[in-house]
């Protein structure tokens, strides 16, 4: 159990949360620095600096845990930035987990992001996630950034969830992304627009599936966003999307028509977005790419991107 000597140390506190509909008490774990230890309450400050006041009578157990690793802080911070850059129209909080729904368009916008404490034991959190997505007619999914959420995958597997392919989250300093060589006079021009054209949307739909209304929200409900496109002979050859959140440029939906690949169009679109982002004060870029997509991984390696961390999204695979 915790004592006054634990103030200033990182701790985990199990406390009463609420009574379930069937009368069972629900408990959750709170992780952070113990900043106050009083006779009536204690205060824990989480990784985001939020102070949680907990009545001593609600505390079931507590103990010191090892300090946060700097890498885990960076993973959590970047995952939050990426979630802002790919905003689902329907969201909710489950403790510190973020539930996201966008009519099923992309796993990123239709999965629970497992960051921090869900406010309940993991099995109960999984049940809450399953219920939330089932209400929306969507398959329940949980995204686990690694190694930050390393404890969650084993519990998901035991509960009957199935992993999807691993995704690499890669980053690069903008100054390190190489500038493409000079364009020839007859090379197609990269255009950046504040809104996607119908041709741009059609090209993305051909790769990612039909775009429901929620997809347009994911793509455009960001203050600083640009849509890159390259035309050749009146044909759309390439598309990409860039969004700036603070110091970060997020790059997504890079695609080139099959007959125009290996001609440098992806590099040129990326660099056009980099120039735009630098004007807004961004200094770093991130992107997400499936680990199995070796061609894309090689492309981004050539642009100076390295793996920051990875995540695995789990889908509920059995009836509950």
Question: Do 101 and 48 belong to one domain?
Answer: no
- Burial profile 201-223: b = 16 or more Cβ within 10 angstroms, e = fewer: bebbeeeeeebeebbbbbbeebe
Residue 249: what pLDDT? 98
Select from 133, 164, 195 the last residue of a domain: 164
Question: Do 94 and 197 belong to one domain?
Answer: no
Total count of domains within the chain? 3
- CA-based R_g, the chain, Å: 22
Question: Do 189 and 155 belong to one domain?
Answer: no
Q: Range of 84's domain? A: 70-164
pTM of the model: 0.77
Residue 320 domain-assigned?
no
CB atoms within 10 A of CB 174: 19
Select from 64, 91, 108 the last residue of a domain: 64
Q: What is the pLDDT along the chain (320 residues), one digit of tens a residue?
A: 898 888 888 888 999 988 877 888 888 888 888 989 999 999 998 765 678 999 999 999 998 876 656 568 889 999 999 999 999 999 999 988 999 999 999 999 999 999 988 888 899 999 999 999 999 999 999 999 998 888 899 899 999 999 999 999 999 999 988 877 665 556 778 999 999 999 999 999 998 889 999 999 999 999 999 999 999 888 899 999 999 999 999 999 999 988 888 888 999 999 999 999 999 999 999 999 999 999 899 989 999 999 999 999 999 975 44
Query: What CATH number is associated with residue 18?
Result: 2.30.30
Question: Do 214 and 232 belong to one domain?
Answer: yes
Question: Do 160 and 276 belong to one domain?
Answer: no
CA distances from 1 to 13, 32, 58, 179 (A): 9, 15, 13, 57
Residue 319: what pLDDT? 47
Question: Do 175 and 144 belong to one domain?
Answer: no
Alpha helices in the chain (DSSP H): 70-85, 122-135, 152-158, 198-208, 213-220, 265-279, 294-302
Question: Do 59 and 92 belong to one domain?
Answer: no
Residue 150 domain-assigned?
yes
Question: Do 117 and 54 belong to one domain?
Answer: no
Residue 180 domain-assigned?
yes
Residue 55 domain-assigned?
yes
Place of tokens 């969650």: 152
**Do 207 and 255 contact (CB within 8 A), yes or no?**
yes
Select from 16, 46, 64 the last residue of a domain: 64
Question: Do 54 and 149 belong to one domain?
Answer: no
Query: What CATH number is associated with residue 239?
Result: 3.40.630.30
Residue 318 domain-assigned?
no
């Amino acid at each position: 159990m915790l004592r006054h000597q634990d103030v200033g140390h990182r701790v985990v506190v199990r406390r009463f949360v609420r009574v379930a509909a069937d009368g069972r008490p629900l408990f959750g774990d709170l992780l952070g620095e113990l900043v106050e230890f009083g006779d009536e309450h204690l205060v824990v400050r989480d990784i985001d600096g939020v102070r949680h006041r907990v009545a001593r009578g609600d505390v079931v157990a507590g103990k010191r845990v090892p300090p946060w690793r700097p890498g885990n802080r960076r993973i959590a911070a970047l995952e939050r930035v990426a979630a802002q850059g790919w905003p689902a129209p329907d969201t909710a909080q489950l403790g510190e987990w973020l539930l996201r729904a966008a009519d099923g368009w992309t796993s990123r916008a239709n999965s629970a992001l497992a960051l921090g404490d869900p406010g309940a034991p993991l099995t109960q959190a999984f049940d809450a996630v399953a219920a939330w997505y089932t209400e929306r007619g969507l398959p329940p999914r949980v995204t686990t950034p690694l190694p930050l959420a390393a404890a969650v995958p084993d519990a998901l597997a035991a509960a009957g969830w199935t992993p999807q392919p691993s995704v690499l989250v890669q980053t690069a300093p903008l100054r390190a992304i190489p500038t493409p060589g000079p364009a020839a006079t007859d090379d197609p021009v990269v255009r950046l627009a504040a809104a996607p054209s119908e041709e741009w949307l059609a090209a993305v739909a051909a790769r990612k599936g039909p775009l429901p209304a929620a997809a347009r929200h994911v793509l455009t409900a960001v203050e600083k966003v640009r849509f890159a496109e390259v035309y050749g002979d009146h044909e759309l050859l390439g598309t990409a999307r860039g969004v700036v959140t603070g110091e970060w440029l997020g790059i997504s939906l890079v695609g080139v028509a099959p007959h125009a690949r290996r001609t440098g169009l992806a590099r040129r679109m990326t660099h056009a977005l980099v120039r735009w982002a630098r004007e807004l004060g961004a200094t770093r870029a991130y992107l997400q790419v499936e680990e199995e997509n070796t061609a894309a991984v090689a492309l981004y390696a050539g642009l100076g991107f390295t793996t920051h961390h990875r995540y695995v999204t789990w889908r509920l695979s059995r009836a509950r």
